[in-house]
C-alpha cells in the first residue's frame, strides 16, 4: 500500500483545511461540496462510477491505514488499497476493475470513496 497526495486545486495545506458542506447524489454518482478554509473557495468534487464510500469522524481518523496519511495535504489516493482488495473478494468484484481509492480529509470528517475517477469545479 502506498498513499500519494493528489495535487489539485481542491487540495488544501493540511488535514483540517477543508469543511465538508455536503455529500450529494447516490452510488454510482457522488459529489462532495467542500469549502477550503485557506482561501474560502468552494468546490464540487464529482466521483464517477463509485462503488463504495464511508465517512469517519476526524477523531477516529488515526486508526488503520489512515494513521499513515501524510500530515500535509487534504486529498489522497491509496495505491494497492486494502479496501479495494477486501471488496474484490465479493461477488461483484468485476465492477472494481480500474477503481481507485480516494481519501479526502475535512475539518470534522475523513471521506473515503472507491470510484473510477473524479473531476472538480469551483463555485
The ranges assigned to domains in the chain are 2-122
Give the residue-averaged pLDDT of 41-58.
95
Give pLDDT tens digits for 53-92. 999 998 887 778 788 888 888 999 999 999 999 998 866 6
The percent of residues in the chain predicted with pLDDT above 90, rounded, is 72
Q: What's the predicted TM-score (pTM) here?
A: 0.93
- pLDDT over 70 at 121, yes or no: yes
Query: Is the omega angle on the peptide bond into residue 33 within 30 degrees of 0, that is, cis?
Result: no
Contact 76, 3 (CB under 8 A): yes
CB 94 within 8 A of CB 77: no
pLDDT in tens, 82-94: 999 999 886 666 7
Nearest to 113 by CA among 33, 30, 44: 30
- What is the 3 state secondary structure string of 80-110? CCHHHHHHHCCCCHHHHCCCEEEEEECCCEE
Q: CA-CA distance, 3 to 24, in Å (whole number)?
A: 26
Between residues 15 and 52, the one the model is more confident about:
52
Q: What percent of the chain has pLDDT above 70?
A: 97
Amino acid at each position: 500500500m502506498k498513499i500519494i497526495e493528489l495535487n489539485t486545486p481542491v487540495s488544501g495545506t493540511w488535514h483540517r483545511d477543508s469543511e465538508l458542506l455536503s455529500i450529494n447524489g447516490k452510488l454510482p454518482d457522488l459529489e462532495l461540496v467542500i469549502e477550503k478554509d485557506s482561501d474560502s473557495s468552494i468546490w464540487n468534487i464529482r466521483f464517477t462510477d463509485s462503488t463504495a464510500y464511508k465517512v469517519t469522524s476526524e477523531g477516529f481518523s488515526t486508526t488503520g491505514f489512515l494513521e499513515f496519511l501524510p500530515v500535509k495535504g487534504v486529498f489522497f489516493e491509496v495505491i494497492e488499497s486494502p479496501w479495494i482488495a477486501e471488496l474484490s473478494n465479493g461477488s461483484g468484484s468485476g465492477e472494481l476493475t480500474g477503481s481507485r481509492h480516494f481519501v479526502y480529509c475535512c475539518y470534522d470528517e475523513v471521506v473515503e470513496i472507491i470510484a473510477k475517477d473524479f473531476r472538480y469545479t469551483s463555485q
